[in-house]
Structure 1
């Protein structure tokens, strides 16, 4: 009997590790469309002592492989969040549709500031219009959205992170459960 369980002298030992396929994305195309739509975006981070800080997002871009998230924030309004991201890379982003309260929360551990891509300014404008349209269904005026998100484009910065966790946060019995990809 061999001292090595599973060893058999007639079976060759493979020196090449088996191919490992990347894990499935935590979100699917439908989630990505929701997150990039006219939803309220709250971007959270924590500083020393795990003290939380929060900023309002003004748009989002999901990578084609559904693994990276880029959120846009006002440099001035989000200064404490940006400091925390620079310090430890931890981020949480909640995406909630005001008219339905449907909410998804995404978390990352490697957040960092990145330059805006070509086309991001147009994406941010489309986001504001879609957010204003959703809010209009519950009685808010476009001017109110402009007051909330009306900072100059030159003040917008991007935060990118790899999606590490995803949760349902819609009020109800499933709140807090891990998000299930439908793909």
Structure 2
């Protein structure tokens, strides 16, 4: 099962900041900003919305089902989780993904009105990267940082 902490973080009424990181053996690591994330509990899969312009940099990794890490951080409390797993492709944004993007935009505008324009994107500017989640770690600074919440150590 996907860790309940992930579901709880995504249900908070505050913006979630997302960073996706990828690396291939012998290559320079790649990072980009995510703009939305949705969880499919049944498949242990997440869908991370990134800018369409960033997808080409992930092509080799997606083709060979490479390793991904996704860092999720609350914009208010700084609570953060790191997800690690395998890239399983990308696809266009769905209506449910678009709803998540719009929700994140509304929460950013409510919590940080002067920054909202920097964080809002249209669904047409994004694609979804799918990842099978193998491990979830608590990343929030403090004595529990690095605690494995889901998966094997």
**CA deviation digits over 1:84-116, x for unaligned, max 9?**
333443111000013221100001124311333
Unaligned runs of 5+ in 1: 1-24
Tell me, in whole angstroms, the C-alpha distance in 2 between the residues paired with 1:102 and 1:170: 5
Q: Equivalent residue for 1:47?
A: 24
Q: Equivalent residue for 2:132?
A: 162
Tell me, in whole angstroms, the C-alpha distance in 1 between the residues paired with 2:120 and 2:32: 11
Q: Equivalent residue for 1:145?
A: 116
Tell me, in whole angstroms, the C-alpha distance in 1 between the residues paired with 2:109 and 2:72: 15
Cα displacement (A) at 1:68: 1.3
TM-score, reference length from structure 2 = 0.82
Q: Equivalent residue for 2:97?
A: 120
Q: Equivalent residue for 1:34?
A: 9
SS of equivalent residue, structure 1 residue 109: strand
Deviates more, 1:107-116 or 1:165-174: 107-116
Unaligned runs of 5+ in 2: none
**Residues paired across the two proteins, number:** 149
* 2:57 aligned to which of 44, 66, 80: 80
Deviates more, 1:97-106 or 1:44-53: 44-53
Tell me, in whole angstroms, the C-alpha distance in 1 between the residues paired with 2:45 and 2:65: 18
Cα displacement (A) at 1:159: 0.9
Tell me, in whole angstroms, the C-alpha distance in 2 between the residues paired with 1:162 and 1:103: 19
Q: Which protein is richer in strand relative to its size? A: 2
Question: What's the RMSD between the two structures over aligned residues?
Answer: 2.5
Q: Equivalent residue for 1:90?
A: 67
Cα displacement (A) at 1:175: 1.2
Cα displacement (A) at 1:48: 4.2
Cα displacement (A) at 1:121: 1.5
